[in-house]
Structure 1
Amino acid sequence: MDNAIEAEGLRKAYGGHQALRGVDLAVPRGTVLGVLGPNGAGKTTTVRILATLLTADAGTARVAGHDVRRHPGLVRSRIGLTGQYAALDDKLTGRENLRLVGVLHHLGRARARAVADELLESFELADAADRPVKGYSGGMRRRLDLAASLVAEPEVLFLDEPTTGLDPHSRNTLWKRIRAQVDAGVTVLLTTQYLEEADQLADRVVVVDAGRVVAEGTPDQLKRKVGGERLSVTLVDPADSASALSALAGVGTDAPVRQGERVVQVSLAAGIGSIADAATALAGLDIAVEDFGVRRPSLDDVFLALTGHGATA
């Protein structure tokens, strides 16, 4: 499978700050790459370089088969971009915004009108199509912004934290439209701070921290990096946490850890047998338990294990 996006050794500095320190990426056509990282990790800088809005200090990149430095015009003709902030004209209606984008892409007025109408219907914006965008809600503006990035039917779509601040309904609507684009063969690079979003959409995930790629794989592969199922025990009395750590030391694949004042977690060594051993050990020390549950590791666990801090740090 050939790659729609390739980057090798991307570096970018702003003054004395190293925003990118040698980022490598490869995204096969028709797939979704999720790029996870906290604020300042280098996600937006990477997108801006790949979308030809910035020039890298070092390294190479190709998008849709074209070198971003040598042939930026060809790259731009084959991509769509939804940035962190909606790039819309508030004084125009939703329909006028999309038609304008179509005309700017040289679709012709008739084709621009037809594409605008199709996208407004697809993004559940037909009822608001002839209202000025300044009266749209945040979710409506975000949907219209994504629709605008699809007017020219791009081969590659860059989405830079597209659902930040959206309500669940608007977020799910965007996810549905993104999946539809991938089903149609579009390649998507998605940056996000939401671990659930990457879990829902991404075929592969890259974890970026301080301008470097620190891990890459499918969501399940990354989850396996922090072990299998984890037992989470919520204690009635925070004073029992030290005793609970001692009691659970023998039932996991690694040392149990505290999560807050009253929660102790441990990776399970032997499935249900380990659960029974943990319950017996806690009962033997008369440790009162409020909640006792088993869960699979999440991408949040992966991010914390890899970087030492949360994704929104």
Structure 2
Amino acid sequence: MPTVWVLGAGQLGAMLKQAAYPLAINVEPVEPESEQLPNIIDGDTVTVEREQWPDTPVTRHMSQQRGFMNADIFGKIADRFHQKTMLDTLGINTAPWRSVEVNTKAESLHAELGPDVLLKRREGGYDGKGQYWLYEDQGDEVPTDWLGTGIAEKKIPFNEELSLVGARDKDGNKVFYPLTLNLHSNGILMASISPLSRVAHLQPMAESMLGKIMDSANYIGVMAMECFRVGEQLIVNELAPRVHNSGHWTQAGACVSQFEMHLRAVCDLPIKAPEVRGQSVMINIIGVEREIAWLKIPSTQCYWYGKDVRPGRKLGHININHPQKSAVQTALNELRKLLPENYQDVFNWVEKELKRI
């Protein structure tokens, strides 16, 4: 049985392990702070559930292995300066940006990027963390601790947020899932919907963009591309060289989930176009205690990550899938009753978008 070692032992690693069983693959997630080095042998594969990691004996050991997949790409994507530079070099639409140097002034950023400028840390930052807005009309200055550590982006007046998850094998074959519509609150993904016929005409554009990125890096495995839709154009916001939260719906809504697809690609097994099964909605569980009654709702799959409950923390997700949208709506109505008041806006958004599909 081949072994795939996963750098990182969070929920993504756990779901990769779950997806591995039907493929007769042994998946071993590894905590970067572990005191014991994994016993990796020739022929084993090393992949990741995160694009950046602390410098520890374990991470040094794993990243130096011959079977470490995509070793050259993580530095380019984990550092937003290099990620943006790569996108510009490939001619792929991304928000206009500038590097924040040690002597950068807010005045120059506004002159180049407009009145509202978003600062992002070059490294780190997720779920809305590592960001800072500069507003010209408020006379904001670049905070001292941001000088030399970030990039600045122009504010994009987007219509909606879409993501594309795709996979590539060692021979350059590529497959893609349908575009996914996403709702974020304070930078945290709250819900995803896929497929959507009203954005299907943008699928070829999205596939061309993500395919070009994966080919340029000779990437093997699953990659996610988060985009803003501005009219009939897509603008790349972020890349993730791994399985991704916005692809969780594929566990219920496709013949091959993103987790299985990633393992197929990195283990040199056939990847195939994922047939979509009906309508899917994914609801993230953020900072909410587990409710056993979720398990009673028809047309749902519940995933609980086993983490300590804290405000703003991703603790699980619920996939809803059915060939009939009416059944999906029924499940949403039942779930709405079992989540706190702050989720009402999420359910209102999902209900509105399901009517537009």
Question: Fold-level match, TM-score > 0.5?
Answer: no
TM-score when normalising by structure 2: 0.28
* RCO higher in structure (CA 8 A, sep ≥6): 1
**Greater share of helix:** 1
TM-score when normalising by structure 1: 0.31
